[in-house]
Structure formats: C-alpha cells, structure tokens
Structure 1
C-alpha cells in the first residue's frame, strides 16, 4: 500500500515527469536518495509502469481520429483473440478496448486525412476477421484527456 510520502511523490511525478530528480525530490519534500529508492520500489511493484513521450498527432500529419465500435461474430470461439491479434498489426490503430454488451471492441484509429482513413478502412479495417457490425464515430473535439490519478 502507498503511504503519504509515496502519494506526494506520485502527485509531483504526474504533474512534471520530466523534472530532474533533485527538483522532483524537493517538490515532494524528500531527499533525492529517498525519491530514487521510492520510485524504484513503485516500479518494482508495478505502480509505475514507465515513462513515455506523448506526441501531438497533428504536428506529424495525423489530422483525423476515428473511434470504431465493433461487434464480433460470437459464434466463433476464437473471434476475440483473432480479431485483436489482427487489429494490433494495423499501425494506425492506436488503442484497442474490449467491452461487455452489444459493442465488443472499440478501436481508436488515426489517419492523415479523410482519404487516408478511407484507404485504411477499406484495405485494413474491413479485412479484420469476425466483424459482424461496425460503426464509425468521427472525433470532432477532445474535451478532456487526463491520465493522472487523483492522489
């Protein structure tokens, strides 16, 4: 379980993951050695899964994001596994989520423009196995995107 010191460290780390260790330690109210030890322990326990760069897709030419709601043919016992394995091979599929209910899978797909999306959709998405129904939702605006955890 996390104690108050761990929570302070995580709050500061979430707010500014690129800070140098000494400054992060100061903001969290611990010594640099304590910070290093606590972060290592949280990584070992799986609390911290890593640090990543976040790329602004439009800055590199991806102007379009589409959410695809997919219903699979559930008469095939391997439908989920085969669909997910194939969807993972499409580089423009940036997220795959599974659900219980009438929608089985949601894919987040990025494309350079509508023409590129149309090529992806026809050439790669519709060829994924075991699709019985698919609905596309075009993203208009990102209102909130926050992966921080309230600590």
Structure 2
C-alpha cells in the first residue's frame, strides 16, 4: 500500500500524541475531519495503522522486577517450538515473546512484583515449559529508551 504525504502527517501526529480526537488530528495534519477518518481507515485496512494501546507503568502497580529470558530449545524435537510457545503464552507474567534465528530461539520478558515472586515464577512456571535446552536470565536495571516511533 502506498502512503501519501498527508498519510505521513497523520501518522506523525498519532505517534506524537495518540489520544488526539479525529478533529484534533485532522487539524494538526492539515486535512479535514472526513478525509482524516477515511485515510486512517484505509491505513487500518492496509495493516499500516494497527490501533492504539495503553502504556502502563507496571512498577507503579507493584511489579518492580523485569527479567529478559533468552531460551534455546531442544531442536531434536519436531514440535518443540510450537509446544513451548503454546505453554509460554499461558503465563500472565510473560508480557512479551519474541523469536530469533540463531543460538537463542525465544526471548521472554517477565514481570514480577519482587525477587521472591520472580523466583517462584521461574521455578513453578518458566522451568516447567517444555523443551528448554538452555536458558539465560538478564535482569533489567534501567530502561534507557523505549520507542516504537520512527521518523515519517
């Protein structure tokens, strides 16, 4: 799908402030409200604009520990990947799953209230996931940059 300069202006404004009303968005992007709504719908249908999401400060809700787990799976088992992912998706504290090519197959981002809670999650839920060949934990100390926005 080809996007125009007007589409880029709309997306740029959405990246900067996703809570704008359609009228505010149209004004800032230099279009009228109806055109803005049509362009957004076209970009949604084309899979460019995926929607909005809430960004929650988990630490303020009592989740102080974030751990990134790098997992290598047993590649001798034909369905190892599918079975691992199926079970990992069921753990509520796993907030992100990513797959990779290379020595590490999967990265899990895990949130826990504290180290005791993390240790309990690790032993009772993470280590019981099927087909783990190797696992490495990286404790997050600080988040320096977290952005999904790109220059448009």
Q: Partner residue of 2:142?
A: 141
Q: Partner residue of 1:56?
A: 57
TM-superposed deviation, 1:22: 1.2
Q: Write out per-residue CA displacement over residues 91-145 of structure 1, whole angstroms, 9 at most, x where no aligned residue.
A: 0001111111111110000000000000000000000000011000000000100
CA RMSD of aligned residues (A): 0.7
Write the distance in 2 (CA, Å) between the matches of 1:93 and 1:50: 22
**Corresponding residue SS for 2:40:** helix
TM-score, normalising length: structure 1: 0.98
Write the distance in 1 (CA, Å) between the matches of 2:106 and 2:22: 40
Write the distance in 2 (CA, Å) between the matches of 1:150 and 1:62: 32
Q: Write out per-residue CA displacement over residues 72-107 of structure 1, whole angstroms, 9 at most, x where no aligned residue.
A: 000001000000010000000011111111111100
TM-score, normalising length: structure 2: 0.97
TM-superposed deviation, 1:23: 1.2
Q: Which runs of 5+ in 2 are unaligned?
A: none
**Corresponding residue SS for 2:150:** coil
Q: Which runs of 5+ in 1 are unaligned?
A: none
**Corresponding residue SS for 1:10:** helix
1:112 corresponds to 2:113:
yes
Deviates most, 104-113 or 14-23: 14-23
Q: Partner residue of 1:79?
A: 80
